[in-house]
A and B are shown apart, each in its own frame.
Chain A
Amino acid sequence: MTPDELMDVAQGLQEKDASIPNHVRVCTAASCLSLKSDELAKQIKAELKEVGKDKDTKVRCVGCMGLCSAGPLVSVEAEDQKPVMYQKVTVENAPQIAESVASGKKVKDLVCDTDSPFFARQQKIVLENSGIIDADDINDYIANDGYQALMTAISEMQPNEVLDEITKSGLRGRGGAGFPTGLKWNMLAKTPSDTKYIICNADEGDPGAFMDRAILESDPHRILEGMALAAYATGATEGFIYVRAEYPLAIKRLKTAIRLATKNNFLGSNIGGTKFSFSIDIRLGAGAFVCGEETALIASIEGKRGQPRPRPPFPAEKGLWGQPTSINNVETLANVAPIVRKGGEWFASIGTNKSKGTKVFALAGKINNTGLIEVPMGLSLREIVFDIGGGIPDGQEFKAVQTGGPSGGCLPEEHLDMGVDYDSLRTAGSIMGSGGMIVMDKTSNMVDVARFFMEFCMSESCGKCIPCRVGTYQMHELLNRIAEGEGTMEDLAKLEELCEVVANTSLCGLGQTSPNPVRSTLRYFRHEYLELIDGKHIPAGAGQEVAS
């Protein structure tokens, strides 16, 4: 299939879609699905039949619409009407939804305001199809420019031209560290070998992060297309998606997507009649956080304990089964097709000086609008938490936002006006990580938060290197003592010393960053530690709001 032929197919599908006057979209991502939105979709179809609208209405089960706290979400596009979104829709509401399609009148009680900042302030690239298309229907993806970038690249562009676009775009790894994707792929492209691998890292495990799950469930073909473009640009032949076994729905949708893409020759041998061949297979994890670290992930795919090894050699030189390998995060790969389609310069025009494009954040904790958002890099924390997130519930006051999971830190109010990008977060003592944002109000105790993350690091330590294996255990003990009110100033000094040692001497990134939650809470909320150690050390003006 040539790019033109694909364009014709897409147009045909769009026209067919446009000939149907009414469209109903029901969110069936994990969150809404757990509230039985699949039954809701069935019931809406049945009710549409009752009111005689089943023939001219298309009901789709679509991916994540973002506002998980208001689920299940349903969007209705009735003939000649503006699209309306409905929230907290139950099976009992199905007749009202069907009636609204027939009459063109809104169901006022259920309307979800899409002009609110939660929706209006977002800019969608990664999630552009999320909540729009049916993940299990490849035609829906094709009708929305799907596989257009891949077909154009393999038939009209040289691999190095694809690489150039990615480099120009300034795209950085969305898994946490922010390594430039163009550079990573260049390394792989330059390493000569007959066999090279592209691995999609879908071992999302940061507490508080769920964007990768939503992308995989809502728009799986986007990941396959991104991987195929990566393979074409770097000369790779085979791809693996390493996904957590704890994400059953994502695995199911990926399997369907791979089957359909292979059937339509977007994957497999001689893709689109060209010389380019690339296949993708799924590998399941088995519940080990450390397998998100790239060398541990490789060991796991090889059937071994998921323990990291020192780098160099980097996976781009010696990776899976000793062959050159590139490992990219789900969200990184989700950006690739739009970049190739619209050009690197377009992408580079969004975001900040050193962090380009958008970032998907998962809002959770003590915040009104929990869910997934996608915003340009550089938006301030205040805009994210208060405008888009709708502020803190129950009349409580904001205290801190935790970013970057167990490798990140807690940022206090004084950083709320900081623009969020890779570099500003690092300067403030946290990291971007995969994009989890957990908001805490004044009822949260920061020593407890630090202890929580240390417990996580301790139990997920793979045990290979001593600083991490023993260091996290000892830091957890010290934090326990302090949190229980039995700590001394000596304990605090030991804790700070251990933070240094573990950060400087651990083998992999997970160990090196494990002291971050302690360090950042010590930096901004030291008085809470002191209060627990000895009441006399409370600095003036602080302490009243310290939770017990």
Chain B
Amino acid sequence: MAWITKNSGTMAIETREEPYLDDELKAEIEANIIPRYPDRRAATLPTLHAVQHKVGWLPTQALKEIADFLGSAPSEVMDTATFYEEYWLKPKGKYVIWLCQSISCELMGRDTIMSKIKAKLNIEPGETTEDGKFTLMNVECLGSCGTAPCGLVNEKLHENMTVDNIDQILDSLE
């Protein structure tokens, strides 16, 4: 839910010595992203994407580093990062399973598939398995309604999912 605010005022921020936004990544963003934007703040979304792509998620320390890098206030970067569903503010698994929860998938039986995944991985949507391998998520319409139910595993689309083939899909991931 985009509008639920996080308790950022009083939370302790975990930090580490080594920056998430290192010199190499800074140089890359400076060369490939910044010139395409009229001001640095406009580069907030792609910079968040770039850091997330490298780190896997967006630790609070990284948000602060991004703010320094873009010349924004940390609160502005956090404001943007917390709004969008695609930014991970906690670590995610190696494979993120996005199961479409839209109406066509709902009509075509996505519930049985969700139950199957939950039982197999022993996690609820929004959670990650203890070994850090799988994260399970609900997602809004993936635009494959003609071949519902569907889901993404990382960036790969799976359609016409059944209780049987979801088993095969999960077992084939290493």
Tell me if A290 counts as interface (CB < 8 A to partner B).
yes
* Chain A residue with the shortest CB-CB distance to B103: A207
**What separation, in Å, do the CA atoms of A286 and B143 have in the docked complex?**
16
* Chain A residue with the shortest CB-CB distance to B106: A452
Residues of chain A with a CB closer than 8 A to B46's CB? 283-284
Least Cβ distance of B103 to chain A in Å? Answer: 5
* Chain A residue with the shortest CB-CB distance to B143: A210
Least Cβ distance of A37 to chain B in Å? Answer: 12
Residues of chain B with a CB closer than 8 A to A141's CB? none
Tell me if A77 counts as interface (CB < 8 A to partner B).
no
**What separation, in Å, do the CA atoms of A414 and B156 have in the docked complex?**
41
Residues of chain A with a CB closer than 8 A to B36's CB? 281
Residues of chain B with a CB closer than 8 A to A69's CB? 146-147
**What separation, in Å, do the CA atoms of A306 and B143 have in the docked complex?**
21
Say whether, besides A287-B84, A287-B86, A303-B43, A449 and B146 are in contact (CB < 8 Å): no
Least Cβ distance of A448 to chain B in Å? Answer: 9
User: Does B103 contact A449, Cβ atoms closer than 8 Å?
Assistant: yes
Interface residue tally for chain A (C-beta within 8 Å): 65
CB neighbors of B among A449-475 (8 A): 449, 452-453, 456, 458-464, 469
**What separation, in Å, do the CA atoms of A23 and B106 have in the docked complex?**
39
**What separation, in Å, do the CA atoms of A370 and B147 have in the docked complex?**
7
Tell me if A248 counts as interface (CB < 8 A to partner B).
yes
Say whether, besides A281-B36, A444-B107, A463-B3, A210 and B86 are in contact (CB < 8 Å): no
Tell me if B51 counts as interface (CB < 8 A to partner A).
no
Tell me if A304 counts as interface (CB < 8 A to partner B).
yes
User: Does B145 contact A286, Cβ atoms closer than 8 Å?
Assistant: no
Contact of A321 among B38, B83, B145, B157 (CB under 8 A): B38
Tell me if A125 counts as interface (CB < 8 A to partner B).
no
Binding site for B on A (CB under 8 A): 30-31, 33-35, 68-69, 71, 204-210, 212-213, 245-249, 281, 283-290, 300-307, 321, 362-366, 370-372, 402, 436, 438, 440, 444, 449, 452-453, 456, 458-464, 469
A selection of 19 A-B contacts at a CB cut-off of 8 Å is A34-B150, A34-B156, A68-B147, A205-B140, A207-B103, A208-B103, A210-B144, A284-B49, A287-B84, A288-B83, A304-B79, A364-B145, A364-B146, A365-B103, A371-B146, A438-B104, A438-B145, A456-B140, A460-B140
